[in-house]
Amino acid sequence: MAKEVLVTTTENIPGKNYEIIGEVFGLTTQSKNVVRNIGAGLKNIVGGEVKAYSELLSEARDIAISRLKDNAAAMDADAVVMMRFDSDSISQDMETVAAYGTAVKFI
C-alpha cells in the first residue's frame, strides 16, 4: 500500500517540524464531451450553473491532487505544504488543472 501523504494549504503543520524536499505537482487536462457541450449550450440560453462543467472541474481537481500525492510519495515526502491550484482553458472544450506545493519530510 502506498504511503499516505498529508496535503495542506497552510505553510506550517501544528506540532510538526520538517525539512523541505522540493516542489511537487499534479497535472491533468480534461476535455468536455458532446453531451456536456450540448447541455452547456442550452444552459447559456437560460443561465445558471452548468453542472456538467462543474463536475468536470471537480474531477480534474481530484485527479490533480492524486497525482500531486503520487509525486510527493515518489520523493519519500510525508506531506505537501502550501498546496495551490491553477487552471486554464487550453481551448473552448479543454481545461487543465494543476495542483502544486512544497514536499516536506518530518524530522
Query: What's the pTM value of the predicted model, to 2 decimals?
Result: 0.82
- The beta-carbon contacts of 50-59 under 8 Å, at least 24 apart in sequence, are 56/30, 56/32, 56/95, 57/30, 57/87, 57/95, 57/97, 59/30
Looking at residue 38, its pLDDT comes to 55
Looking at residue 93, its pLDDT comes to 73
Looking at residue 55, its pLDDT comes to 84
Interval 21-67: pLDDT, tens: 999 999 999 887 655 555 555 555 666 777 777 888 899 999 999 99
Looking at residue 48, its pLDDT comes to 72
Domains of the chain (ranges plus CATH)? 6-106 (3.30.110.70)
